Amino acid sequence: MASTTTTSTTPLRHFLIFGSDKPGMLPVRQSVRETHRAHIRETSEAGVTVVFAGPTLDTEGQMNGSLLVVQAPSKEAVEAFLAADPYSQNAIFAKVEIREMRPGLVRTDLLSAA
């Protein structure tokens, strides 16, 4: 997959973000979910664009975390993007992990959005 560039010619990289909710945060998550979804649909001022995202689910099908794949110029840009997210601002996550990744296979024919 070819690298895209920002207007400043900084190569964009891909990052995987995995956030695990604190116990008992489902009501808070649900109350700010639409604001969170609006946030992740917009490219941030730092140049972060969400490529793929969705909630993780517990064994009963209830949301208990978040998984995002983003395109960004740096890990610092991703951290700034997350700091502005309503989920972070409402302290929903017990733990957030950010890892740089390189897409090796993309099957867009298997993706569907709810």
Asked if the structure places residue 113 within a domain, the reply is no
CA 25 centroid distance within chain: 18
Query: Residue 4 pLDDT more than 70?
Result: no
Question: pLDDT, tens digit, for every residue of 102-111?
Answer: 988 888 887 7
Residue of 100 and 112 predicted with greater confidence: 100
Burial of 61 (0-12, 13-18, 19+ CB in 10 A): exposed
Number of domains the chain contains: 1
- pTM reported for the whole predicted model: 0.84
Residues of the domain holding 46 = 13-101
Find the CATH number of the domain harbouring 88. Answer: 3.30.70.1060
Q: What is the mean pLDDT of residues 21-41?
A: 96
Asked if the structure places residue 84 within a domain, the reply is yes
Q: What is the mean pLDDT of residues 86-114?
A: 89
pLDDT (0 to 100) of residue 106: 81
Q: CA 63 to CA 61: how far, in whole Å?
A: 7
Query: Residue 90 pLDDT more than 90?
Result: yes
Asked if the structure places residue 109 within a domain, the reply is no
Q: CA 104 to CA 61: how far, in whole Å?
A: 29
